[in-house]
Amino acid sequence: MGKIAVVGSINIDYFIETDRLPKLGETVLGKSFFISLGGKGANQAVAASRLGGEVSLFGSIGDDENSKVLKEKMEKEEVDLSYIHTVKDTPSGAAFIELCNSDNRILVVPGANKNTDVSYINRVVSELLSYDVTLFQLETPIEMIEHIVPILYDHGKTIILNPAPARKMKTEIIEKITYLTPNEHEFEMVLNSKDQMVDCLRKYPNKLIITCGTKGVAYFNGEKCINVPVVKVEAVDTTGAGDTFSGAFAVAISEGKNLFDSIQFGNAAAGLSVTKKGAQAGMPYRKEVDSLMK
Ligand code: ADP
């Protein structure tokens, strides 16, 4: 089995549940409050680790009280933190999430995540090159990704990019990425294309993997477009479904599974994740996915 490096954001998420959102200048009593580990990097690392991946997280935290909480939570998930950078006089990334009925409102402060930049990645490049699969998202500086992807590519590494939150990517970088996993709302912006989904898929055979919620996952295998159906579940909360898919997909690829089987594995894990409330609370463990796929 190959080792997985996740390079990405690490946040502390503060959740407040309320029946009504305050107006500007108003105070409203909330119903409940809880803290959770978040950020796409940490989420995908946790998803991959729970599914049996050997995972190291590359990223930055601050030197505040939250950094201790974040470290404890990630260690409990058996994510290796050897290359985490602790940034002085800087807060860890934090998200403030107001949950109101079935909707939410979120403010994110990147804090230390901004330091997961070109100079950081240059300091850990030789360690990063010892991993077989590297998984990125777009919550850390894009210049870092544009810098490191060609280096990983030249060393023949498998590179997965979950391009969320979506932003335009350079074509020469997309070409060097092994697998790109946007959702159906993200791919146009990422590819800077107005083409139909099928035309985009045809342009990037066995690379572009578009998750389409309950409609399945689409890719072009060089001959035809394939749709890998999702598992039928009672969805409770789809937060973190995309993160679970990408983490699970990375595990399957690191185990040498083929593309179709890796997507199926991702679908099973992501399907299970939506049956529980919260991004990480619903992320399944390996035996749950294996028994669903039997
Ligand atoms: P994102 O969470 O990034 O918006 P999607 O909505 O496409 O991405 O969801 C990612 C994956 O999660 C899907 O490809 C699918 O495997 C799974 N998924 C999402 N919603 C459901 C659902 N209601 N039932 C089963 N699987 C789901």
**Per-residue pLDDT tens digits of the chain, which is 294 residues long:** 899 999 999 999 999 999 999 999 999 999 999 999 999 999 999 999 999 999 999 999 999 999 999 999 999 999 999 999 999 999 999 999 999 987 889 999 999 999 999 999 999 999 999 999 999 999 999 999 999 999 999 999 999 999 999 999 999 999 999 999 999 999 999 999 999 999 999 999 999 999 999 999 999 999 999 999 999 999 998 989 999 999 999 999 999 999 999 999 999 999 999 999 888 999 999 999 999 998
CA–CA distance, 55 with 116 (Å, rounded to integer): 18
Q: Which of 209, 211, 219, 272 to mutate to test the pocket of ligand 1 (most atoms within 8 A of CB)?
A: 211
- Sequence-separated (6 or more) residues with CB below 8 Å from residue 38: 11, 12, 13, 95, 279, 280
Closest CA to ligand 1's atom 6: 213
The response to whether residue 242 sits with its C-beta less than 6 Å from ligand 1 reads yes
Ligand 1 atom with least separation from CA of 164: 3
CA 1 to chain centre: 21
Q: 187 CB under 6 A from ligand 1?
A: no
CA neighbours within 13 Å on the CB side: how many for 83? 22
Q: Is 238 in the pocket of ligand 1 (CB under 6 A)?
A: yes
Tens digit of each residue's pLDDT (9 = 90 or more) over 135-155: 999 999 999 999 999 999 999
Residue ID of nearest Cα to ligand 1 atom 7: 213
**Substitution site in 230, 231, 234, 263 for ligand 1 pocket (most atoms within 8 Å of beta carbon):** 230
pLDDT number for residue 175:
98
80 is catalytic: no
User: Is ligand 1 within 6 A of the CB of residue 213?
Assistant: yes
pLDDT number for residue 82: 98
Question: pTM to 2 decimals?
Answer: 0.97
| Res 103: pLDDT | 85
User: Whose C-alpha lies nearest to ligand 1, atom 8?
Assistant: 242
Q: What per-residue confidence (pLDDT) applies to 102?
A: 79
Task: Indicate if ipTM > 0.90.
Answer: yes
